[in-house]
Amino acid sequence: MSTIPARIYLASRSPRRRELLRQIGVNFDSLVFRGGARGEDADVDETPFPDEPVERYVERLALTKAEAGCRRLQWRTLPQHPVLAADTTLELDGAIIGKPIDKADAAAILQRLSGRSHRVLTAVAISDGARTRSRTCISEVRFRPLTDTEIRHYVASGEPMDKAGAYGIQGRAAIYIEEIRGSYSGIMGLPLFETAQLLEAFGYPL
């Protein structure tokens, strides 16, 4: 009898990650954590450690989210399938740049990215409770110089507010991007090459 899992869980609220999994034909159920004060999710702390390298930071969060997802399957007595999680962050001048906290922060982030190249790091992790594996994808994105008016209009659109680095490459921000080196899907939030490798390692048929 085959032990290949028919489904996985996606531990993410991101509509972009759901879209990307559907693109490669993966059957999944969403496993969302509680919002607000996080309560149940106190073990998913996204605060960087002092002097933590960005590569380690993004991998740590993806691993933590996948393992936390497995614990929630037990707590909620849900059917057991592998849990996939991911985390995306930006790095500029050695600084970690996550999601903006408000519109002013989004504008400030975009001003920093204007006319410069930055790195986009997305780590993806899968856990089945007994083992956990991860892969990290690193890409480079170059923005053309942005005017204050362009930044103001883009922030007003609302698109930057739930995205690492305050922009979505698959949205309006595409007109600001001169060049990318690396994985388009990784910049979106789920590198499909690395994701497929992990799924295959856990016996998922692609």
Residue found under tokens 């009898």: 1
Other C-beta atoms lying within 10 Å of the C-beta of residue 137: 23
Between the alpha carbon of residue 20 and those of residues 17, 115, 121, 138, 167, the distances in Å are 5, 29, 17, 17, 17
Q: Among 10, 121, 146, which residue's Cα sits nearest to residue 56?
A: 121
Q: Which of the following is catalytic: 29, 41, 45, 87?
A: 87
Is 93 known to be catalytic? Answer: no
Is residue 45 a contact partner of residue 61, using CB atoms and an 8 Å limit? no
Q: Which residues does the annotation mark as catalytic? A: 87
